[in-house]
Amino acid sequence: MNINLAVLSLDSPVFHTYAIAACLMILKLMLQPWMTVARMMKVKGGYRSPEDAKKTPLNPEPRAGQLDVDEYVDRSRRMNLNDLESIPGFLAAGFLFVLAGPPVVFAQIVIWTFVVARAAHFVAYVTAQVHDVRATCWTFSSLAVLTMVIYTLIKLL
Q: Which residues bind a second copy (CB under 8 A)?
A: 1-3, 5, 8-11, 16, 19-20, 22-24, 26-27, 29-31, 33-34, 37, 47-52, 54, 56-59, 71, 75, 78, 80, 84-85, 88-89, 91-93, 96, 99-100, 125, 128-132, 134-135, 138, 142, 145-146, 149-150, 152-153, 155-157
Burial class of residue 51, CB neighbours in 10 A (0-12, 13-18, 19+): exposed
Indicate the residue among 67 and 106 with the shorter CB distance to a second copy: 67
Least distance (Å) between residue 121 CB and a second copy: 12
C-alpha to C-alpha distance for 88 and 107, rounded to whole angstroms: 18
Indicate the residue among 67 and 116 with the shorter CB distance to a second copy: 67
